[in-house]
Chain A
Amino acid sequence: EAGVTQFPSHSVIEKGQTVTLRCDPISGHDNLYWYRRVMGKEIKFLLHFVKESKQDESGMPNNRFLAERTGGTYSTLKVQPAELEDSGVYFCASSQAELYEQYFGPGTRLTVT
């Protein structure tokens, strides 16, 4: 069974540009989560989808971040316009149900210069 996949693995962009990250969860997992880890800090929750609906987006830092999950399958996280402090590793995770084990993707390392 394929795990959670994320694309791209690395992205280097300039401040002010736009970047879109993609996450493909494990097939059949209704719950999809986005997390971010900035250098030296803990992994922090961004938002949670149940199927195509946003269950909780309390962790989204500001309105420059937009997440979508059309059709309840893969999800995208767009940062527009990117700022220097957006640099970090963005992880996606999926689970069969809330409080079940979350399977993490390999992450996308975003560097904003």
Chain B
Amino acid sequence: GQNIDQPTEMTATEGAIVQINCTYQTSGFNGLFWYQQHAGEAPTFLSYNVLDGLEEKGRFSSFLSRSKGYSYLLLKELQMKDSASYLCALPPPNTPLVFGKGTRLSVIA
């Protein structure tokens, strides 16, 4: 089966950098997704990592270590609009996404 663990809540200051961790266990690895979800809205895709290392996309970067079952999402130059839930998700073999419970990030002034 699959298991995903993320911190429930985090708070960070506008302009700062925050790292949101995700650890996982899975019987077969097909990559890891990060989604952003604002309250009352649909999840929106942020990144997909399938190889080890850091992938950068503007202010957002995602890191993966397959051997450690570990990923993180790095958000730089935080803005108030970055306040949202960040969901780590796995596509297990042959079935669609399994989501973690998400990390609720609050950005404060």
Residues of A at the B interface (CB closer than 8 Å) are 4, 33, 35, 41-45, 48, 56, 58, 91, 98-99, 101-107
Residue of A nearest to B100 (CB): A42
Main secondary structure of the interface of A (DSSP, over half): loop
Q: Which of A33, A42, A91 contacts B42 (CB 8 A)?
A: A91
Chain B interface residue bracket vs A: 20 to 34
User: Once A and B bind, how many residue pairs between them come within 8 Å at the CB atom?
Assistant: 51
Q: Across the interface, do A42 and B99 meet the contact criterion of CB distance under 8 Å?
A: yes
Residues of B at the A interface (CB closer than 8 Å) are 4, 30-31, 33, 35, 41-45, 48, 87, 91, 94-102
Q: Across the interface, do B43 and A41 meet the contact criterion of CB distance under 8 Å?
A: no
Residues of A within 8 A of B94 (CB): 56
6 contacts between A and B (CB under 8 A): A42-B100, A45-B96, A101-B33, A104-B35, A104-B42, A106-B41
Task: Report the Cα distance A105→B98, complex, angstroms.
Answer: 17
